[in-house]
Amino acid sequence: MDRALLADFLRARREALQPEEVGLPRGARRRTGGLRREEVAVLAGMSADYYSRLEQKRGPMPSEQILAAVAGALRLSPSEREHLFALAGHAAPRRALPDDRVGLAIRTIAERLSDTPAIVFSRFGEALLQTPAAVALFGDYTRFEGLSRYLVYRWFTDPAQRAIYPPEDHDVRARVFTVDLRAAYTTDPAGTAGEIVDALLAVSPEFAEVWRRHEVDVTHHHDLKRYRHPELGELELYSRRLVEPDEGQELLVFMAEPGSPSEAKLRRLITVTDGEA
């Protein structure tokens, strides 16, 4: 616990929060623009003396429950909440994850990529949004239900999912998908990620073998990848990620090397897609 930094952080966030933002009247006698200590204490459901001691660098190590209450009272963002817990000597709490709601910023970007294959994934590999070009390239990933919503689950249980990759690339793709799942599992072992892992361990010996390797990174993860399309044949594409950590989502964009045969095939695909729209 870093009492000095914790006190400075609490004071800064309190002074930056306006009374109107939390439903309190400003009043004619308010000398500061932000909240008073006693107002934060009331909003957090604790004594004014306890909260004041935290800001005065002389309080005890607060519990996770106390920190959660203070974070709510100060209207902290997910990143600020994690910072608060770290300063107080606690592991950052698991963020509340969205279900099927795409964040505004990442949705806006995706909708402007209508002529580019792009997919918005949850941190568990569920496709939340696809551009028309992505549907034409990979099929509709948003149609699945149950555990099949998650790409890693389909990879190890549905042979049709593997058809978009050449067979010689299947081993590395299995490792990549498992690495991504492990990253989610590390922060969510008792939630959705844990459910996916338990289900795959029960039905897929291949997954169990890859999972036992405990890999956390795979070489060439972001290099040029080969994809197979039933009409266009093989395409070589780069994929780039735009991560939105507060929403727990990422936008995956697929691009071909300029002037390459794959770029010509991608343009043909997009032209056909635009013609059908």
Query: What is the 3-class SS of 11-43, one letter each residue?
Result: HHHHHHCCHHHHCCCCCCCCCCCCCCHHHHHHH
Tell me, rounded to whole angstroms, the distance of Cα 259 from its chain centroid. 33
Query: Which pLDDT belongs to residue 218?
Result: 75
Tell me how crowded residue 191 is: count the other CB atoms within 10 A of its CB.
Answer: 14
More confident residue, 73 or 204: 204
Pair 15, 130 in one domain? no
Distance CA 234, CA 226 (A): 7
pLDDT in tens, 37-93: 888 888 888 888 888 898 888 878 888 888 888 888 888 887 788 888 888 888 766
Query: Which of left, alpha, beta for 30 (phi over 0: left; psi -120 to 50: alpha)?
Result: beta
Point out the least confidently predicted range of 52-56, 91-95, 109-113, 165-169. Answer: 91-95
Average pLDDT on 259-273 reads 87
Could you tell me if residue 18 is inside a domain? yes
Pair 253, 136 in one domain? yes
CATH number of the domain encompassing residue 82: 1.10.260.40
Pair 237, 128 in one domain? yes
pLDDT above 70 for 276: no
pLDDT above 50 for 6: yes
pLDDT above 50 for 31: yes
Residue 213 main-chain phi, psi, to 5 deg: -70, -20
Pair 175, 114 in one domain? yes
73, 40 contact by CB (below 8 A)? yes
Could you tell me if residue 99 is inside a domain? no
Could you tell me if residue 95 is inside a domain? no
% of the chain residues with pLDDT over 70: 89
More confident residue, 272 or 130: 130
Mean pLDDT (the chain) is 85
Q: Which domain holds residue 10?
A: 3-87
- 39, two tokens: 């107002």
Could you tell me if residue 23 is inside a domain? yes
Collapsing DSSP to helix, strand or coil, 130 comes out as strand
Count: domains in the chain: 2
C-alpha separations of 52 from 11, 34, 39, 59, 60 in Å: 10, 15, 11, 8, 11
pTM confidence score: 0.65
Label residue 206 exposed, middle or buried (CB < 10 Å: 0-12, 13-18, 19+).
middle
Could you tell me if residue 121 is inside a domain? yes
Q: Which residues pair with 93 in a beta bridge?
A: none
Longest dimension (CA), the chain: 73
Could you tell me if residue 82 is inside a domain? yes
pLDDT in tens, 247-257: 678 899 999 99
Query: Which pLDDT belongs to residue 98?
Result: 47
Pair 164, 36 in one domain? no
pLDDT above 60 for 222: no
Pair 174, 253 in one domain? yes
pLDDT above 90 for 228: yes
